[in-house]
Amino acid sequence: MVQAYGADTGNDRAEPRRTGSGSRFRDLRDRWTRDKGIWRRGIVLAVCAVLLTLVMVFHADIPNTIGNLGSLTETFLPWIGVFVPLLLILGLVRRSATALIALLLPVVVWLNLFGGLMLSDKSGSGGDLTVATHNVNADNPDPAGTARQVADSGADIVALEELPSGKVSAYAAALADRFPYHSVQGTVGLWSKYPMSDTRPVDIKMGWTRAMRSTVTTPKGEVAVYVAHLPSVRVKLHAGFTANQRDDSADALGEAIADERLGKVILLGDLNGTMNDRSLNAVTSQMRSTQGAAGDGFGFSWPASFPMARIDQIMVKGVEPMSSWTLPATDSDHLPIAARVEL
């Protein structure tokens, strides 16, 4: 009998091709398990993962004797996490089980250090006082507009840093209606809805005034408010992280705050350093960051175009942080930041 064209003879049947995602996963798994070099490849990637882990775990032991390398590492410590996805991709491309397993180390350590900031919102409701601070940039082309933007945050107290003498009147005029009390000391200023007294400059060993202190009498009592703009830092190939002057000023500011007679203290300003930087220990060891205690995310404030570090700070002592946030960008190279605290 002649078989008709196209009829099924039963001899040329093929196993149906599995095209689902489960099949692709099994194929990939089979290729990896048959690959005898899966543990030998990627040793360099695994070593890199271990090195990242060691930097995060022992960052406090990286010496500052050579170019302040320790402080530089601590300033940008959260950004070490960006190397993890890169190593993950390379590990997958290399089909290296060794690299992928080693990568768990920096992931766990990074989450332990920064997961609380990145993955949780610690802000709460309530509070008695809203404060804001902003490095306005000496070259700011719109002082009045910048001042109004910060005031629109609803702050009861506003601190401004990097005030050039020729533009102080513009900032003062823009804030006059909302803040009947204010004082400018050198290049920093403080505006308040509540009476200010015992206002004076604070010597932070710079040769000119970039810090001040004032007693603000709120409905909940007196609060010592400090405003500070610590010296700038630079990264230079021949000198490393040039931060010695900033470090000396931080020590002087820490001494002034330690000698403060009032129990409730708020520090506002541009410290040109992060809370991780050991060189600010004279200040950070005795005060709490509102962002770390009651913020949402890292709260990076500089540079405004692509924030990479929180060098602008609101810190408190004897005061409870309730919430902390960054404000919309102005014509400055820093973002303004604000916080609400309970007295």
CATH 3.60.10.10 applies to domain 129-342: yes
Q: Are 254 and 244 in contact (CB under 8 A)?
A: no
DSSP state of 305: T
User: How far is the C-alpha of 171 from the C-alpha of 140, rounded, in Å?
Assistant: 11
Residue 138: predicted pLDDT:
97
- pTM of the complete model: 0.84
Token representation of residue 21: 């995602």
pLDDT band at 36; cut points 50, 70, 90: low
Domain chopping of the chain, boundaries: 21-119, 129-342
pLDDT at residue number 88: 94
Q: Nearest Cα to 75, choosing from 292, 289, 324, 279?
A: 279
Q: Tens of pLDDT along 124-163?
A: 788 999 999 999 999 999 999 999 999 999 999 999 999 9
The full DSSP string for 84-95 is HHHHHHHHHHHT
Q: How far is CA 207 from CA 249, 260, 294, in A?
A: 11, 22, 35
Instruction: Say whether pLDDT at 214 is over 70.
Output: yes
Per residue in 255-314, pLDDT (tens digit) is: 999 999 999 999 999 999 999 999 999 999 999 999 989 998 899 999 999 999 999 999
How would DSSP label each residue in 30-75? Answer: HHHHH-TTTTTTTHHHHHHHHHHHHHHHTGGGS-STTTTHHHHHHH
Q: Helix, strand, or coil here: 241?
A: strand
**Residue 237 pLDDT greater than 80, yes or no:** no
Mean of pLDDT values over 22-31: 65
166-178: pLDDT as tens digits: 999 999 999 999 9
> Quick one: which of 252, 323, 319, 246 has its CA closest to 283?
252
Q: What is the 3-state secondary structure (H, E, C) of 317-343?
A: ECCEEEEEEECCCCCCCCCCEEEEEEC
